[in-house]
Amino acid sequence: MAVSKSFLGPNDKITTSQAAIFLNNAMLGAGILTLPRSVSESVKTPDSWISVLVGGLIAILVVVLMLKLSLRFPGKTVFQYTSAVIGRYPGMIWCLILVFYYIVIAGFEIRAMAEVTMYYLLEGTPIWAITIPFIWLGAYLVIGGIDAIARVSQIVFPISLCILILSYLLSLRLFELDNLRPILGDGLGPVIHGLKSTVLVYSGCEVVMTLTAQLENPKQALKAVLTGVGIPIGLYLFTVIMVIGGVSVDSAVTSTWPTIDLVRSFEVTGFLFERFEFLLMVIWLMQMFCNYSCFFYNSSLGLSQLFKLPYKAVIFALVPVIFLVTMIPQNMNELFGLGDAIGYLSILLFLLFPVFLSLLALMRFGGGGGARHEKS
């Protein structure tokens, strides 16, 4: 007879598949619409897909590192264990930077969403009318905790995945292999140069450091994390290949939202929708909602854990803050500038810091890790 689990206990743990999808949704956001342009801009050759791939491999390494670090402190999020590693005040400062980073990235995603919506769906609508309901809805979801977010992600992701793949498959008729040639025509230089712009799309993987604490089954954490990182890498790679192959490097660079432009450039006659970019965009709105909710959740969780504040109050307080961040970029160029800045910050914070923190933790607590530390 199986031991019955409690029926009505509070549910703030997530299953392995939920963790994978949660991580996946934290990484899949507006990036898919802009990545082909941003990466082509810096690579300038058709090799951008190699940059994406290499960037992805680096992201996997970093994520695994962050996972190993977090697993030393079972049941604790990054906001709780950092001070144990590097001391109270440095830890707090670092966590505040982390929270700030999450808020900015949430604002960035919303703004990008609003720009796409205003451009394609609701011309002439004031931007606040688009962003505020979106933020409110996010707050409603985030109050439900990680469990609710993971559920919504699990509903939204399969839908958006299907539509995305369908759109790409339909765009195969535009695909020309010549657009992707020559491979490594200018050597490895452009590829390395392009790495920094791929970092932005992979930023978001930092949620691993809070996610690990909420796993129902931490033994499968590695599996969850690898799946969660693998799916976005695959999708990003696929996106870049399809877009560059479909519209060539030159037009990818000049277009604001190259992925949408790719889907826009063909019509499927005799179907209910002749134009798929609309469907893709509508579905991607939902994906961006999940994406933004992840960051909203992480920032409010961080603040409430750092300062022992009530979780709900933090969420309400963050609503206007996120709105203000959303409104700060004055035009698209500044928005993309902000995106680049997030990318650089991301390199600093999340490529270097986990390494540093891991080393420090290794030195201070030895190989055994946090279990012993937990009791002290």
Partner 1 sequence: MLSSIQSHIPSWTVFFQAFIALVIPILIYRVYVRLDNLGEDKLSSSGSANIESSRDPLVADYDDNMQLIKSRIGANSDVVIREVTVGGVVKAALIYVKGMQEDHLLNMRIIQSLKEMDAQIPEQIMERFPGSSAHAVSSATEFSQGILIGFMALIIDGRKEGLLITPPQCPSREVSEPVSESLLRGSRIGFTEDLSINTALLRKQGLSEDLQIRSCLVGQTIQRELAIAYMDHIVNPDLLREVNDRVAQIKLDYIAESGYIEQFIEDNYLSPFQQVQNTERPDRVIAALLEGRVAILLDGTPFALIVPVTFSMLLQSPEDYFERWLPGTLLRMLRFGAAFISLMAPSLYISFISFHPGLIPTELALTIIETRQGVPFPALIEVLILEISIEILREAGIRLPKPIGPAMGIVGGLVIGEAAVQAGIVSPFLVIVVAATAISSFSIPVYSAGITLRILRFAAMLFAAILGMYGTILFFLLIVCHLSKLKSFGVPYISPFTPYRWSDWKDFFVRVPIFLMKKRPKLMKTMQSKRK
Give Cβ neighbours of residue 187 (< 8 Å, ≥ 6 apart): none
Whose Cβ is closer to partner 1: residue 147's or residue 340's? 147
Q: Per rule CB under 8 A, is residue 344 in the interface with partner 1? A: no
**Residues 287 and 160 sit within 8 Å (Cβ to Cβ):** yes
Q: Which stretch binds partner 1 (CB under 8 A): 29-37, 187-195, 265-273, 302-310?
A: 265-273
Q: Per rule CB under 8 A, is residue 337 in the interface with partner 1? A: no
What is the smallest separation between the CB atom of 272 and partner 1, expressed in angstroms?
Answer: 8
Q: Which stretch binds partner 1 (CB under 8 A): 63-71, 141-149, 239-247, 346-354?
A: 141-149
What is the smallest separation between the CB atom of 239 and partner 1, expressed in angstroms?
Answer: 21
Whose Cβ is closer to partner 1: residue 150's or residue 229's? 150
Tell me the per-residue interface mask from 107 to 136 with partner 1, x by CB under 8 A, - otherwise: ----------x---xx--x--xxx-xxxxx
Q: Ramachandran region of residue 204, left (φ > 0), alpha (ψ -120 to 50) or beta?
A: left
What is the smallest separation between the CB atom of 114 and partner 1, expressed in angstroms?
Answer: 10
User: Which DSSP letter does residue 218 get?
Assistant: G
* Pick from 209, 210, 216: nearest CA to 301: 210
What is the smallest separation between the CB atom of 81 and partner 1, expressed in angstroms?
Answer: 26
Among 285, 347, 355, 362, binds partner 1 (CB under 8 A): 285
**For the chain, counts of helices (H) and of strands (E):** 16, 0
Q: Per rule CB under 8 A, is residue 289 in the interface with partner 1? A: yes
| 117 phi, psi to nearest 5 deg | -60, -45
SS3 content of the chain, % helix, strand, coil (to 5): 80, 0, 20
User: Which DSSP letter does residue 6 get?
Assistant: P
Give Cβ neighbours of residue 62 (< 8 Å, ≥ 6 apart): 205, 350, 351, 354
Determine the Cα–Cα distance for residues 46 and 40; give it in Å rounded to an integer.
7
Q: Hey, which residues between 296 and 335 contact partner 1 (CB under 8 A)?
A: 312, 316-317, 319-321, 323-324, 327-328, 330
What is the smallest separation between the CB atom of 125 and partner 1, expressed in angstroms?
Answer: 8
Q: How many residues bind partner 1 (CB under 8 A)?
A: 60
Q: Give the three-state DSSP class for 124.
A: coil
Q: Per rule CB under 8 A, is residue 14 in the interface with partner 1? A: yes
**Residues 298 and 101 sit within 8 Å (Cβ to Cβ):** no
What is the smallest separation between the CB atom of 169 and partner 1, expressed in angstroms?
Answer: 20
CA atoms within 13 A on the CB side of 81: 26
What is the smallest separation between the CB atom of 92 and partner 1, expressed in angstroms?
Answer: 25
Determine the Cα–Cα distance for residues 281 and 15; give it in Å rounded to an integer.
29
- Residues of this chain that interact with partner 1 (CB under 8 A) are 1-2, 4-9, 11, 14-15, 17-18, 117, 121-122, 125, 128-130, 132-137, 139-141, 144, 147-148, 150-152, 154-156, 269, 271-275, 278, 282, 285-286, 289, 312, 316-317, 319-321, 323-324, 327-328, 330
